[in-house]
């Protein structure tokens, strides 16, 4: 097989890079840190978008679009926000090129300098809250529930396709509310939407919790997150939902007249997931033979490969298979009938395994005569010969089963790699082996930073479902009331 990729145990990082390349998902562009998302990868992203967008709309949100550029002065209006983003932003300073007078080519026209520099949005709180100021006057204008699908830019120094790129695609929800309680409920609701998407669509179990103050979004009062475990035991933050308090309302003077006829500052939230989810999807399920995709997000759910020696055989096989193709499509299942003669069946099998097609059917002349078909599932790599009759129902059931099965597998993996740890020596030992560590923490930033410094482990979250439990901090020995999740992370 020309397309072999390194195994995960050999080199997890190279496995990831090569898989992205060989499965035609994406590639680095000539522009530093910016990726090209190739058609096959983009079609997975489109399915993610569609599912998320439907969920946002079901929860009452509308899409809108705000400018790519943010005036420098806007970014500065919320103090911790500019602190968080100033160090890694692309700055537009001019609006024209011209031919160099010495004929050396095209140069930036020094006479076309902007009065105020523009930042390419790293996130849109500032430009959106400056707009909300004009949209919100009274409690009748609230809640304002808006989402945007957009590209954003953060000038990361070390980039990695899907996981950390200078430009990435995402959605960012920005909502405004009359009360703190309502904004907090929205923050939590959207985290739950993300968790549901991760678990039901991506088949990827997640831990829901709050970030520590150190790890909060720049400008938020509270950041909620979902954390997933990758197959190398590292954590990946898969989505965040921020309770902004009145910070941006105050920075942009967004007030409303409440029912008691008093001016009040508005309460805000923001929440986002990005093309980073593509990285999570790949690392959560795929194996040494290629992608493993949950059926709900697979661009091709079923591939059918006829095995034939001549045109006549192909004609016979096609006659039986084509009505099935039609029925599958009618049932909303995406199917590819690969009858091309440029590649052999074995090559095709390997190729569709690499691309993560969940179900593969193969039919040769013996199957044809016996009224059977071979059906293989990508996740378990098992296959069996079954009657052709009733195959549609079997495929439907199998797709459902695969969706569940890879979720259960990932969940079992996470459970097997989550450890309660109570001593510092044990902590240091376990963190080298990978996985999530449930340990007591004294609640201080100093301890959190010292642990990170010594082990590269961060507090992924304070889980919502952590039981109250008396204990002592694994690092400082000071008292603690519940365990938090530590891990090394992407």
Determine if 119 is a binding residue for its own copies (CB under 8 A): yes
- For residues 280 and 228, is the Cβ–Cβ distance under 8 A? yes
Tell me if 25 contacts its own copies by CB under 8 A: no
97: contact with its own copies by CB under 8 A: yes
Chosen residue from 6, 17, 34, 444 binding its own copies by CB under 8 A: 34
For position 2 contacting its own copies by CB under 8 A, the verdict is no
For helices 12-22 and 276-285, angle between their N-to-C axes, nearest 10 degrees:
110
Is the Cβ of residue 355 or residue 483 nearer to its own copies in the bound state? 355
Residue whose CB is less far from its own copies, 93 or 445 = 93
For its own copies, which is the closer residue by CB, 31 or 450? 31
DSSP secondary structure, 279-302, as one string: HHHHHHH-BTTB----GGG-S-SE
Tokens of 30: 């000539």
Q: How far is the CB of 75 from its own copies (least distance, A)?
A: 7
Q: What is the rounded distance in angstroms from the CA atom of residue 367 to the CA atom of residue 381?
A: 20
Q: x/- site string to its own copies, residues 310 to 349, per CB under 8 A?
A: --------------------------------x-------
| CB of 320 closer than 8 Å to CB of 286 | no
Which residue's CB is nearer to its own copies, number 343 or number 408? Answer: 343
**Which one of residues 17, 21, 55, 76 is an interface residue with its own copies (CB under 8 A)?**
76
Residue of 134, 164, 135 lying closest to 152 (CA atoms): 164
Of 166 and 406, which has the nearer Cβ to its own copies?
166
Q: Which two tokens stand for residue 338?
A: 């690969």
Site for its own copies in 152-211 (CB under 8 A): 153, 155, 167, 169
- On whether the CB atoms of residues 254 and 265 are closer than 8 A, the answer is yes
Dist CA 209 CA 463 (whole Å): 4
Nearer to its own copies, 34 or 386 (CB): 34
Question: Do 399 and 357 meet the contact criterion of CB atoms below 8 Å apart?
Answer: no
Cα 145 vs. chain centroid, distance in angstroms? 22
Identified binder of its own copies from the candidate list 7, 54, 60, 65, rule CB under 8 A: 65
Cα gap 228→284, rounded to integer Å: 8
Which residues form the interface with its own copies (CB under 8 A)? 27, 29-31, 34-39, 42-43, 45-46, 62-76, 82, 86-98, 105-106, 108, 117-120, 127, 130-131, 134, 140, 146, 150-151, 153, 155, 167, 169, 342
């Amino acid at each position: 097989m020309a397309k072999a990729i390194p195994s995960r145990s050999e080199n997890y990082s190279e496995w990831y890079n090569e898989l992205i390349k060989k499965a035609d998902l994406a590639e680095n562009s000539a522009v530093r840190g910016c990726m090209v998302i190739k058609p096959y990868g983009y079609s997975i992203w489109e399915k993610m978008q569609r599912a998320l967008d439907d969920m946002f709309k079901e929860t009452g949100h509308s899409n809108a679009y705000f400018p790519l550029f943010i005036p420098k002065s806007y970014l500065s209006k919320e103090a911790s926000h500019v602190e968080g983003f100033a160090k890694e932003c692309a700055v537009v300073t001019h609006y024209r090129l011209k031919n160099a007078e010495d004929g050396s080519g095209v140069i930036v026209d020094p006479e076309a300098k902007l009065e105020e520099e523009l930042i390419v949005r790293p996130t849109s709180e500032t430009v959106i809250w400056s707009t909300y100021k004009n949209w919100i006057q009274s409690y009748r204008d609230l809640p304002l529930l808006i989402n945007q699908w957009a590209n954003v830019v953060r000038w990361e120094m070390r980039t990695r396709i899907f996981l950390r790129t200078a430009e990435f695609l995402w959605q960012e929800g920005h909502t405004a509310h009359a009360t703190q309680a309502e904004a907090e409920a929205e923050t939590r609701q959207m985290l739950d939407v993300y968790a549901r998407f991760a678990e039901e669509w991506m088949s990827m179990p997640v831990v829901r919790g709050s970030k520590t103050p150190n790890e909060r979004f720049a400008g938020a009062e509270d950041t909620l997150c979902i954390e997933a475990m990758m197959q190398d035991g590292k954590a990946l933050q898969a989505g965040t939902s921020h309770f902004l308090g009145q910070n941006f309302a105050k920075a942009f003077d967004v007030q409303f007249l409440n029912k008691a006829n008093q001016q009040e500052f508005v309460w805000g939230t923001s929440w986002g997931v990005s093309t980073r989810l593509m990285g999570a999807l790949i690392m959560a399920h795929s194996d040494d033979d290629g992608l493993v995709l949950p059926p709900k997000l697979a661009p091709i759910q079923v591939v059918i490969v006829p095995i034939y020696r001549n045109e006549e055989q192909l004609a016979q096989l096609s006659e039986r298979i084509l009505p099935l193709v039609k029925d599958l499509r009618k049932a909303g299942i995406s199917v590819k009938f690969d009858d091309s003669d440029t590649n052999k069946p074995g090559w095709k099998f390997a190729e569709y395994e690499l691309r993560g097609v969940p179900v593969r059917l193969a039919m040769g002349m013996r199957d044809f005569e016996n009224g059977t078909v071979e059906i293989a599932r990508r996740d378990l790599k098992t296959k069996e010969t079954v009657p052709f009759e009733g195959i549609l129902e079997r495929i439907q059931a199998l797709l459902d089963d695969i969706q569940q099965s890879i979720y259960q597998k990932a969940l079992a993996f996470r459970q097997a790699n989550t450890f309660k740890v109570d001593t510092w020596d044990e902590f240091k030992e376990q963190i080298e082996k990978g996985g999530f560590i449930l340990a007591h923490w004294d609640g201080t930033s100093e301890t959190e930073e010292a642990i990170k410094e010594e082990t590269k482990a961060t507090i992924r979250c304070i889980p919502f479902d952590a039981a109250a439990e008396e204990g002592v901090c694994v690092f400082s020995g000071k008292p603690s009331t519940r365990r938090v999740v530590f891990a090394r992370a992407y």
